[in-house]
Amino acid sequence: MLELALGRLDAVGLFDRRVLGHVDDARALDAGEPGVDTAPARAHEVDEQREIVDSRMAFREEVTLDPLETADRLIQQTANLGDVACHREDLGAQAVSHRRADVRGNGRFELCRGRGERLDLVARALERGLDRAGRGTTCRGVRDPLLRTFQRQGIHVGRGYSPRRMDSSVLDYDLPPELVAQHPAEPRDSSRLLVYRRDSGEVEHARFSDLPDLVDDRLLVVNDTRVVPARLHLRRATGAAVEVLLVESLGNGRWEALARPSRRLRTGEVLGPVRLVESLADGRWLVELDGEPAGEAPLPPYIHEPLADAERYQTVYGEVTGSAAAPTAGLHFTPRLVELLDPARVTLHVGLDTFRPLTEDVVEEHELHGERYSVSDAEWGRIVEARSVLAVGTTTVRVLETVARTGELAGRTMLFITPGFAFRRVDALLTNFHLPRSTLLALVMAFVGIEETLSIYRTAIAERYRFYSFGDAMVVL
């Protein structure tokens, strides 16, 4: 090689030395095995049943062969684990011979508690559960630190959704303005109910009073929060009007609030019972309130008609005051329906995130501030033991899916549910029709499907359903 590099030996000479034996240490070429041991099969060696009689096949002759059947339980494409069937017998951990070795040897899978009876595999890299029907744990197990370790190995890191980039424009749709409901239905359960069945894709039209006939043996779960009379109409010392919306209580008389016109306000300014403590940007303020909130129900800005009865912006089962907005899917229930259906109860205080539309071009880049939630041991026990759960409202969904992942029965949820999310405890959903470009609509699309949701909304518009907070409802079974 040195001679070649110095130009003393050309490539032909090197070839002569190594291959033809002109170099002393060159090895002679050994006779190799032929690439084809026998001549190709002739046409007469393929029988009428399309089987090769001889082990050889004729070169350049077309022979049709029957395809092999797919092996049982074979996952053909792991790039989208959400499309894999979720049957326990197919995807349970018992199909893995060495459970722990396989889990630790494959970065895409990890241990997760499943149905209180075994450990299942769940996907890590794509944040999709192999067993979407996994129920978490029994109520007793939620408090078990060892069990909680396994639960947390299966949670979504960060905000809890698959790493996709969803264009916010997908959440757009055109709504005739006359379909925005300006007042609630009377009586509550007389509102219309669109029924969508996921297994068949069929749409039915009913009344909310028909809900007991649709529930079957599903357990309803509702959010029992009550709305704070949090909209305060105040004045500055100059006499200029200011509106303050109390969003979340921070304790000791302090609240996070929205105020307008925010740019004109100053830290330390006193507005009646409210003192501005600190600006938090984007119109948000830390304030101190003297006494309890004594304002108006914070109706959404798209409702222009005054509300004659403030209780109509409360659910009949609401008990725990703390929300800045109503969990509107629950507004359709009457005391009779509540008694008949006996729902389980969770609490999530609706906060700032409900008021913030998507501002980013990519849905996943939207920032959530989080909302406080809590569930009692007894109620979580009912939820875990239920064969199937019907969540009433998107706020209830967030509580159930948060607890199913973390095992924490109280805290602050930052769970951002977008298409690609793997649901672990919610099997059916009851909700109102939501605003375009909202996180609530993204959650519905995650549960129902993007195209399916848009099709449902087109049907609802064509059938003249009423939309938004005081509008009609839909149930996905």
For residue 172, give the 3-state DSSP assignment: coil
Q: Is 472 left (phi over 0), alpha (psi -120 to 50) or beta?
A: beta
- The DSSP call for residue 209 is G
Of the chain, the end-to-end C-alpha distance in Å amounts to 75
Least confident among 329-343, 345-359, 383-397: 345-359
Distance, CA of 163 to CA of 204 (rounded, Å): 34
- Of 159, 220, 225, the closest CA to residue 413 belongs to 159
Judged against a pLDDT cut of 80, whether residue 182 lies above it is answered with yes
Least confident among 111-115, 201-205, 252-256, 403-407: 111-115
The model's pLDDT over 146-166, given as tens digits with 9 standing for 90+, comes to 233 333 333 333 343 344 689
- The pLDDT of residue 367: 84
Judged against a pLDDT cut of 50, whether residue 112 lies above it is answered with no
Maximum pairwise Cα distance, the chain: 108
Mean pLDDT computed over 167-177: 95
- The pLDDT of residue 67: 52
Same fold, 168-227+309-476 and 231-289: no
Distance, CA of 366 to CA of 101 (rounded, Å): 38
Cβ contact 196:456 at 8 Å: yes
Judged against a pLDDT cut of 60, whether residue 176 lies above it is answered with yes
Helices vs. strands in the chain: H and E counts, helices first? 12, 19
- The pLDDT of residue 345: 98
What predicted TM-score, i.e. pTM, was given to this entire model?
Answer: 0.67
For residue 83, give the 3-state DSSP assignment: helix
- The pLDDT of residue 64: 57
Cβ contact 323:309 at 8 Å: no
Which residues are CB-neighbours of 65 under 8 A, at least 6 positions away?
Answer: 50
Judged against a pLDDT cut of 70, whether residue 336 lies above it is answered with yes
Structure tokens belonging to residue 260: 């307008």
The model's pLDDT over 426-475, given as tens digits with 9 standing for 90+, comes to 999 999 999 999 999 999 999 999 999 999 999 999 999 999 999 999 99
Distance, CA of 349 to CA of 352 (rounded, Å): 10
The model's pLDDT over 245-259, given as tens digits with 9 standing for 90+, comes to 999 999 999 999 999
Structure tokens belonging to residue 277: 């403590």
Mean pLDDT computed over 317-322: 97
Instruction: Say how many residues make up the chain.
Output: 477
Class of domain 168-227+309-476: alpha beta
Percent of the chain with pLDDT over 70: 65
Instruction: Indicate the domain borders of the chain.
Output: 2-32, 39-67, 81-153, 168-227+309-476, 231-289
Distance, CA of 440 to CA of 431 (rounded, Å): 10
* Reported confidence tier of residue 86, pLDDT bands at 50, 70, 90: very low
Judged against a pLDDT cut of 60, whether residue 132 lies above it is answered with no
Pick the CATH number of 231-289 from 3.40.50.720, 1.10.3720.10, 2.40.10.240, 3.40.50.10470: 2.40.10.240
Judged against a pLDDT cut of 60, whether residue 65 lies above it is answered with no
Q: Which helix (H) or strand (E) holds 401?
A: helix 394-406
- The pLDDT of residue 460: 98
Mean pLDDT computed over 269-295: 95
Cβ contact 91:383 at 8 Å: no
For residue 123, give the 3-state DSSP assignment: strand
How far does CA 377 lie from the centroid of its chain? Answer: 24
- The pLDDT of residue 139: 37
Mean pLDDT computed over 336-349: 98
